[in-house]
Chains A and B, each alone.
Chain A
């Protein structure tokens, strides 16, 4: 079955960087793009963008350009989200999610990675 397994929780200081991983299994990795979502405490999910798992080309939503980087290691069936110059407002749960059938209908999600930014 399809599984997306993310790395564990992170506690970082403002100004630091963090890299979250999302390892896919149960399907052909490069047949589906991978999307990233942010969910701040008490809020709904917010779409951050996606990475083309065939070409490695990332696409960022408005508001997630600059400090956010999507990357891949296709040999490991793993996608990464790196956030640099962390701010307190980056404190959130980050999810990777796989879309279904070529549309942004997200039928598989990672378990989420809590990133806490605090001095």
Chain B
């Protein structure tokens, strides 16, 4: 089974600064026939369901602010929030859909 490992578990970033979250899969989730990485990112605020931010590793979902970006390929992926806003305080999850869907353990983002 593919295992998804996120780091760090939590991070505190000053308002307006960059936040970087990492996600590593135990095997490649790049499907070579279509050159797509089967990885999504979600944001979850307390008491709410997860919200889709990014899919195919770097495609932003409609309505998601452009300060959110995804990058990476194969086994190593990154979610970047370029300028942290108060409303970005949340837990962020990566999820692979190359195989049966599996979420990472989450990264909690707070304001420093």
Closest to A45 in B: B103
Number of interface residues of B (CB under 8 A): 20
Docked Cα-Cα span, A111 to B49, in Å, equals 6
Q: Is the CB of A105 within 8 A of B93?
A: no
Q: Is the CB of A105 within 8 A of B100?
A: no
Docked Cα-Cα span, A104 to B99, in Å, equals 9
Is residue B102 contacting chain A, with contact meaning CB distance below 8 A? yes
Looking at chain A, what size class is its interface with the partner chain?
10 to 19
Docked Cα-Cα span, A20 to B16, in Å, equals 41
Q: Is the CB of B102 within 8 A of A47?
A: yes
Is residue B77 contacting chain A, with contact meaning CB distance below 8 A? no
Q: Is the CB of A109 within 8 A of B50?
A: yes
Q: Is the CB of B97 within 8 A of A104?
A: yes
Chain A hits for B90, CB < 8 A: none
Partner of A105, one of B48, B49, B97, B103: B97
Q: Is the CB of A45 within 8 A of B50?
A: yes
Chain A hits for B52, CB < 8 A: 100, 105-107
CB contacts under 8 Å to A, within B46-92, are 48-52, 55, 61
Q: Interface readout for A28-44 with B: 1 if CB under 8 Å, 0 if not?
A: 00000001000000011
Partner of A110, one of B42, B49, B104, B105: B49
Q: Interface readout for A87-119 with B: 1 if CB under 8 Å, 0 if not?
A: 000000001010010011111011110000000
Q: Is the CB of A103 within 8 A of B50?
A: no
Closest to B55 in A: A105
Partner of B106, one of A44, A47, A97: A44
Nearest Cβ distance between residue A64 and chain B, in whole angstroms? 11
Which residues of B are interface residues toward A (Cβ below 8 A)?
A: 38, 40, 42, 48-52, 55, 61, 93, 95, 97, 100-106
Which residues of A are interface residues toward B (Cβ below 8 A)?
A: 35, 43-47, 61, 95, 97, 100, 103-107, 109-112
